[in-house]
Amino acid sequence: MGIKIVSAGKALPSYSMSNEQMSAFLDTDDEWIYSRTGIKSRYICREETCVSLACRAADRALQNAGVKPEDIGAVIVATTTNDYAFPSVACMIQADLGLPEETVAFDISAACSGFIFALGTAYGYLKNNDLKYALVVGAEKLSRILDHTDRSTCVLFGDGAGAVVISKDDHKHVHKSWSRGNREALNCKGIGTDGARLNMNGRDVFRFATSALRQAIDETLKADGEDISLIDAIVCHQANARIIENVMKKYPGMESRFFINIEQYGNTSSASIPIAIEEMMQSKRITAGMKLLCVGFGAGLTWSGLIVRT
């Protein structure tokens, strides 16, 4: 048994901040940011919360699927920026969307790899329980943990949420994951600490990401027993356009199957892959019957690849 993406939805803050606007309070400009990252703008929460974005994205995914709330058996949310230490974002979605009380609902924390881990976890619930559908969400309000005086980090990230409704599928399930146990390259202090802000060594993360993405692609395909030419779309975590472009060069002839949309969103962490999937579905770049390879990497350090159908 594998899993199938039935539908997707996304939610974004109403306010978008351009590179030019950031140059008003940072020693930077559009050319400096775009040449290094591929980012032109990002969405920033003003009134919105992580929970409100997650609920909107989840509701949109349900509407697009035509699935009733009572048919959802599990809600799993990937996030590192919940508005609360507890309760979980997933519990708030369960209440806001009117899902049954017997719905399995919890969050997981795996930073930018989180959405793929959440998909893998949801697979287990669908396989081992009599559940028809699961709702998998990636939601982040990263602006609340950024140092807005640090141009090396705050220009990279944006807020947003993406969600998918998944069901069982009769194809093979393939999911590969790795963890390195590194706290130096990318971290943020936790509850009760002073100055809980995102810290990143950009050079170390870039080097790690390019090798990790390629490993995730190659070893996930190896586990699937298929060639990359049989993959219809490769959906990478959108951390930096230059990282994806670097990896694309390793697969000649497959460049058009990689997707990049970071220009208008920035790095939305666990939300980036479901936001990309929603956008690809809306533009018909993803249609029914396709085979997708989702790959991501993030703090931990973690990286992962998963094959899913549509």
Q: What is the pLDDT of residues 34-72, one digit of tens each?
A: 999 999 999 999 999 999 999 999 999 999 999 999 999
- Say what the pTM is: 0.97
Tell me the mean pLDDT in the region 180-196: 90
> Is 201 marked active-site?
no
Average pLDDT of the chain to the nearest whole number: 96
Residue 1: band (very low, low, confident or very high) from pLDDT cuts 50, 70, 90: confident
Separation of alpha carbons 12 and 163, rounded Å: 12
Would you state the pLDDT for residue 192? 82
Domain at 2-169: CATH architecture: 3-Layer(aba) Sandwich (3.40)
> Is 236 marked active-site?
no
Would you state the pLDDT for residue 159? 98
- Is the pLDDT at 217 greater than 90? The verdict is yes
Of residues 50, 112, 188, 236, which has the active-site annotation? 112
Would you state the pLDDT for residue 130? 83
Query: How many angstroms separate the Cα of 230 from the Cα of each of 3, 127, 194, 234?
Result: 17, 25, 49, 11
Of residues 82, 237, 240, 294, which has the active-site annotation? 237
Of residues 82, 175, 267, 294, which has the active-site annotation? 267
What is the CATH superfamily name and number for domain 174-309?
Answer: Thiolase/Chalcone synthase (3.40.47.10)
Cβ-proximal residues to 252 (8 Å cutoff; 6+ apart), any chain: none
Tell me the mean pLDDT in the region 111-129: 95
Separation of alpha carbons 161 and 175, rounded Å: 23
- Is the pLDDT at 193 greater than 90? The verdict is no
> Is 45 marked active-site?
no
Q: Where in the chain is the domain with CATH 3.40.47.10?
A: 2-169, 174-309
